[in-house]
Chains A and B, each alone.
Chain A
């Protein structure tokens, strides 16, 4: 067990190293992609380009540039933006992490709980009107684009019905720190959580229903019936328990991707300065240090999420445990 964890950590470092090199090469060593000309602007003279190269260290060999950048990210922490010189990148990225984590964690709790309820109820009442309506609702949830849903939510809760009893509790857009007051933190995030979770509730609910129905055809379910167990127990303790294994796989992928920046649209719509929004802004003006840093942090979270999934696997599925 201990060995397995050490092994995982090694793998994680290796993956992060690989990703950082790859991204670095994409942005700094792709033929035609000269960072200096971007910084200097269109039509800059050769002398200016040369000066920019010197000043940003772009005249160094590529591996020196890579190590300098890594040193500035991880050791000295004083990497600065290309666009906004003097703006320290690492603290900026670190500041976004609690925002993104708060958003994604809360949404994940919502979507796991509700999709489990919906999937299980639908599977238990297979082909009834309840099952059909839940599945149609799920489909609607999946098909609503998150930015559109977010805008509608804002329209309803921030302007149209904000002054009614229903939504007067909704604070203005933006993130509030947890330590400054858990209640404000919670209230600002409720609507974003729901918005982000709806897609996944629909998706996971449908997937879980299909998995459960398949599991209910398995031989071991027939054995469980022959034992005289109740249908509820068979569904929850046997079918649901085995279906959780594929549920967790899916969850790991989505959770990792969201923490790594795919919650971008939700962050933009609700004006939450998370890692997705920071990356997005950096991409708009090709601010390479920020892109590099966010990518490295994002990959760290993706790899972390996968490591957590692997641990969950070991807990859930005895077949992957070593004897």
Chain B
């Protein structure tokens, strides 16, 4: 349904061109949950903002192809894009505290989105908003609809944001770290909710996180991002059981075990992510990789399909 091919996003800056996304290709099928994981700064947000057409920076250069249901999104006019946004592709952002306009009730904001895309009466839109709030398990939806964002807790606000995102039954839902700003118990509830809604609405979901634990809970397929590239992709179980890329292994090592003795310190990956200005010519993880050898001075390709990693190590391909 969504086909991204060789997407490149760069930002012009005073020091030169900063390439934030460097040739990313992936597909999202109907009704699947694709998990996108990587440390912060790896380009997860930027790649999905590109899909939404929401990179508003005049210095941004977007190359490659993004096809949604067969239509090319790169270079699509803003007016066309607007009809897709919110109706076909919806997005949930990281921080529910700032994602809603403070001066309007949540019901008003949900109805606003419905009215922007559907020809229905205001009272029907309001009724629909109440139903949506009930669906995301907000208690007393008929009462909550007239509350302002600041009157709700972070978890409730994120539920309201999710209700809003689902209001036009989008076929693709992009969730950018929707649980990162919430505390752990609320996180688990939100994950359950996303899974339930995904089943009910039959939407496909791209779920961004930097937390491998969250990926394990929710994703069907996983894409590991590093330095603006995909370093490994595969079915969740394959990837968790037989990680191929050293970076994926390092990420998995950094999850605290659920049972047994906790290690004194979690293993952190030494070194820092590549600078966007001077990318290493070879493998971008090379400078931090303990298995580095001669071949790594050339950029490795990601295999075409199936479980694959962009790495020259034996058994990685």
A228 touches B86 (CB 8 A): yes
CB distance from A214 to the nearest CB of B (A): 13
| A229 adjacent to chain B (CB < 8 Å) | yes
Determine the residue in chain B with the shortest Cβ distance to A323.
B151
Q: With A226-B85, A228-B87, A319-B150 in contact, do A219 and B95 touch (Cβ < 8 Å)?
A: yes
Q: With A220-B98, A318-B150, A323-B151 in contact, do A226 and B103 touch (Cβ < 8 Å)?
A: no
**Is the contact region of chain B dominated by helix, strand, or loop, or is it mixed?**
mixed
| A223 adjacent to chain B (CB < 8 Å) | yes
CA distance A139 to B103 in the complex (A): 31
Instruction: Give every chain B residue within 8 A of A319 (Cβ-Cβ).
Output: 102, 148, 150
| B156 adjacent to chain A (CB < 8 Å) | no
Instruction: Give every chain B residue within 8 A of A8 (Cβ-Cβ).
Output: none
B99 touches A223 (CB 8 A): yes
Instruction: Give every chain A residue within 8 A of B165 (Cβ-Cβ).
Output: 226
A222 touches B101 (CB 8 A): no
Instruction: Give every chain B residue within 8 A of A224 (Cβ-Cβ).
Output: 101
**Chain A, interface size: which category?**
20 to 34
Partner of A220, one of B82, B100, B113: B100
| A162 adjacent to chain B (CB < 8 Å) | no
CA distance A219 to B113 in the complex (A): 16
Determine the residue in chain A with the shortest Cβ distance to B100.
A220
| A218 adjacent to chain B (CB < 8 Å) | yes
A220 touches B102 (CB 8 A): yes
CA distance A283 to B90 in the complex (A): 66
CA distance A242 to B117 in the complex (A): 24
B102 touches A242 (CB 8 A): yes
Determine the residue in chain A with the shortest Cβ distance to B151.
A323
Partner of B99, one of A219, A231, A238, A323: A219
Q: With A220-B102, A318-B150 in contact, do A226 and B161 touch (Cβ < 8 Å)?
A: no
Q: With A219-B93, A318-B148, A319-B148 in contact, do A228 and B113 touch (Cβ < 8 Å)?
A: yes
| A225 adjacent to chain B (CB < 8 Å) | yes
B54 touches A242 (CB 8 A): no
Determine the residue in chain B with the shortest Cβ distance to A229.
B116
| B164 adjacent to chain A (CB < 8 Å) | yes
| B83 adjacent to chain A (CB < 8 Å) | yes
CA distance A231 to B112 in the complex (A): 14
CB distance from B19 to the nearest CB of A (A): 22
| B296 adjacent to chain A (CB < 8 Å) | no
| B91 adjacent to chain A (CB < 8 Å) | yes
| B52 adjacent to chain A (CB < 8 Å) | yes
CA distance A196 to B247 in the complex (A): 66
Q: Which of A199-237 contact B (CB under 8 A)?
A: 218-220, 222-231, 233, 237
CB distance from A205 to the nearest CB of B (A): 22
A226 touches B101 (CB 8 A): no
| A281 adjacent to chain B (CB < 8 Å) | no
Determine the residue in chain B with the shortest Cβ distance to A231.
B78
| A317 adjacent to chain B (CB < 8 Å) | yes
| A183 adjacent to chain B (CB < 8 Å) | no
Partner of B86, one of A227, A231, A238: A227
Q: How many residues of B contact A (CB 8 A)?
A: 31
CB distance from B272 to the nearest CB of A (A): 27
Find the residue from A220, A227, A237 having the highest chain B CB count within 10 A. A227
B85 touches A227 (CB 8 A): yes
Determine the residue in chain A with the shortest Cβ distance to B97.
A219
Partner of A227, one of B78, B102, B116: B116
| A241 adjacent to chain B (CB < 8 Å) | yes
Determine the residue in chain A with the shortest Cβ distance to B110.
A227
Q: Which of B98-157 contact A (CB under 8 A)?
A: 98-103, 105, 112-113, 116-117, 148, 150-151
CA distance A227 to B108 in the complex (A): 13
CA distance A318 to B150 in the complex (A): 9
| A173 adjacent to chain B (CB < 8 Å) | no
CA distance A66 to B91 in the complex (A): 67
| A316 adjacent to chain B (CB < 8 Å) | yes
Q: Which of A60-112 contact B (CB under 8 A)?
A: none
B84 touches A228 (CB 8 A): yes
Q: Which of A290-318 contact B (CB under 8 A)?
A: 316-318
Given A227-B113, A317-B102, A318-B102, 10 other A-B contacts at CB below 8 A? A223-B161, A225-B56, A226-B54, A227-B86, A228-B84, A229-B82, A230-B82, A242-B101, A242-B103, A319-B148
Q: List 22 A-B contacts (CB under 8 A).
A: A222-B93, A223-B93, A223-B161, A224-B101, A226-B85, A226-B86, A226-B91, A226-B165, A227-B85, A227-B113, A228-B83, A228-B86, A229-B82, A229-B112, A229-B113, A231-B78, A237-B112, A241-B101, A242-B102, A245-B103, A317-B102, A317-B103
Closest 5 CB pairs of A and B: A228-B86, A219-B98, A228-B85, A227-B86, A318-B148
Give A residues with C-beta under 8 Å from B.
218-220, 222-231, 233, 237-238, 241-242, 245, 316-319, 323
